[in-house]
Chain A
Amino acid sequence: MINFLFRGLIRDRSRSFFPLIIITSIVAIIIFFSGFLNGIYNSLFFNTALVNSGHIKIVTHAYNLEYQLLPNDLALLDSDKLINDLDEKYQDYIWTRRITFAGLLDVPDSNGETLMQSPVFALGIDFLSNNSKQLKIWNLDDKITKGKIFSNENEILLSERLAERLNVNPGNIVTFIGSTMEGAFSTYNFLVSGIFNLNLGPIDKDMMIVDIKGAEIALDMKNASSEILGYEKDLFFDDKETVLMRNEYNTQFSDTTDVYRPFMLALRDSNQMSTIVDFSNVIMFIIMALFLIVVTLVLWNMGIMNGLRRYGEIGMRLAIGETKGHVFRSMIVESSMIGFLGSLFGTMIGISVTSYLEKVGLDYSKAIDSLNSSNFAMPNVFYPQVTSELFYIGFIPGILATVFGTMLAGRAIYSREMAQLFKELEA
């Protein structure tokens, strides 16, 4: 019977072609829109994850209590061993060391004496080790506006605003003044290799980026880290997963009061991020739910219209002796087949487009530039995100709405009386 109905659909283009195109298009739009929303959601948190918190991070318990003071005397020791353990246990995450510190940046005159000084907020990131993925994650090449990325631990990158304030250019030598991990006075000469702009509002105002080896030497922090950050391998932020990981990890140390015990923090645990994460989750859910309701109504309506359009055909089939139940069931099977194929094609197209844009991104630079006065850290390029839910989300409205629409239209079959039917056919 299915084979018979399928051939009927192929031969009668009015029953298959247009409904198929509509379902395919709508399902593709659903998938792209869902992927786009995922991308926006991820982008909103990606910059926070990138600069501050990772998707998840580990610090010492004592460091966490005073994190605003950047207390490197409370840093994690023996970081390599800790990272090896994390790599083994949480293989879906990339784990990397970070030294966050602050101090003064001093620019010398020709006699080597102080010409200019400015406060600096510095990030020591593992860019140059063999297996590091941080260069790719930071995409620094695209953010450098002058000079080049550093090639060794004695070179640094300065933010545009900091470089402008200090009047330094690539090739200049500057001296970092701060404190070592043990609190000793520390001065260290760095060569400015490049100037960058993260396009993240005030975040990079006083920022200096250095390879972690440079930070280790300047602050006497061999194999110590302020934080160990974890990034999901596809850079996709999953709030629930990070919360579960945090709870599970911290349970291991619940029986100790050692203030230097490792302490895991999910992204939502940083700087009041939980409110923003919760708010974003609710907003994304509402937007997606409204969109799904609208497209479901459209497909449902299409199913109804398709059924009603075949009013005459159904009458004829009933007149020549087909039972009402058989007609109804055949219409449901037909709409299921159309819905399934439309959803399949739509999912394929939707995922292909989303996947392509996931790589190239949607550039909103011009629109964002017009908001220059705003200090909100907005990314300039949005990258839609292909997630597992995209593979099934289109099938729900694609099949169900079409079938329910047909079922609703099919109710008319049962309400038609044979006597009335013949009169209609005669007319």
Chain B
Amino acid sequence: MKYKFIFILLSTIISSDLTVNEIINKIDFNLNSNNRVITSEMIVHGRRASRTIVSKSWIVGTDKAFTEYLSPPREQGSKMLKLDDVLLTYSPQTDRIIQISGHMLRQSIMGSDMSYNDVMEDKPLDQLYSAVLEGEEYINNRKCYIIFLEAKTDGISYPKRREWVDVEYFLPIKEELYAKSGKLLKSTSMDGVKKIGNRWFPTRFIFKDELKKNSRGTEWIIRDIQFDQEIPEVIFSKSNLRK
């Protein structure tokens, strides 16, 4: 009880010292990096069965990303390359490099609750949104700032979003993503927060497409993550898709 009181007191002090932009910058610092290599598994909870897809991704900044799917057998060998605004996929079954564009970007990745657009718009919040601090709330006994974000420019998949940012970790442990009209499109949550280097990072994300009836959500579990690695430029070449 004593610790809880101290924690609340500290949180209040912190919250009173921070501006909303500083909070956003801290979130961006935690979730973005110069580069990273992630091995993850995505558990797609379908209506009849669940599937687990394992992949390894190499990411540099917000413009370059390369993902190779390792299992299950149907997805094994499939690759995805993001270069700026271009998203290319490769599947060994067809030996084709296919550009994902237009309305296809709104489709789900591997049947999950995540869309290709979710991957494409991986930029820092500070660049895309202006924020307003709406208040504070406890989620799972953890104090959170409630921040409402509104897009600075048109053409963003989620023009409005509301985030519950943990006051200790500066991570949006709960998030609601809205259309311009205010309709709830997607909700996410994250947990399993770990200290990796000098940043806090969640090891489990849960995405839920609110437009999918009876959706049971998609879990994205980080098995391994390494920041600031040396990633050869050849990883992000088209020829690497066919290797």
Contacts and interface: CB of A to CB of B under 8 A. Distances in A.
Interface in B105-138: 107-112
A17 B141 CA distance: 103
A153 B48 CA distance: 27
Interface range for B: 20 to 34
**SS of A interface (majority):** strand
B215 to A, nearest CB: 11
B99 interface: yes
B196 interface: no
Given A73-B48, A184-B74, A106 B112 contact: no
Contacts, number: 76
Interface stretch (A2-10, A81-89, A172-180, A401-409): A172-180
Given A106-B98, A112-B96, A117-B102, A185 B91 contact: yes
26 contacts: A73-B48, A74-B48, A106-B96, A112-B95, A112-B96, A113-B98, A114-B97, A119-B103, A177-B104, A179-B107, A180-B111, A182-B48, A182-B49, A183-B46, A183-B51, A183-B110, A184-B51, A184-B53, A184-B75, A185-B78, A185-B110, A185-B111, A187-B93, A187-B98, A189-B96, A260-B48
A73 B46 contact: yes
Given A104-B104, A117-B101, A66 B213 contact: yes
B89 interface: yes
A180 B91 CA distance: 14
A418 B102 CA distance: 98
Contacts of B74: 180, 184, 220
Contacts of B47: 62, 73-74
A175 B98 contact: yes
Nearest to A74: B47
A188 interface: yes
Given A185-B78, A220-B74, A179 B111 contact: yes
A108 interface: yes
Contacts of B96: 106, 108, 112-113, 175, 187, 189
A113 B239 CA distance: 12
Interface string B60-92: 000000000000001100100000000001010
Contacts of B103: 119
Nearest to B93: A187
A172 B108 CA distance: 28
B111 A184 contact: yes
Contacts of A220: 74
Interface range for A: 20 to 34
A113 B99 contact: yes
Interface of A: 62, 66, 73-74, 104, 106, 108, 112-114, 117, 119, 175, 177, 179-180, 182-185, 187-189, 220, 260
A183 B112 contact: yes
A189 B51 contact: no
B14 to A, nearest CB: 42
Contacts of A184: 51, 53, 74-75, 110-111
Given A74-B47, A114-B99, A117-B102, A183 B108 contact: yes
Q: Closest 3 A-B residue pairs measured CB to CB?
A: A183-B111, A114-B99, A187-B91
B44 interface: yes
Contacts of A260: 48
Given A179-B107, A189-B94, 13 more contacts: A73-B47, A74-B47, A104-B104, A113-B97, A113-B99, A117-B101, A117-B104, A180-B74, A183-B44, A184-B53, A185-B89, A220-B74, A260-B48
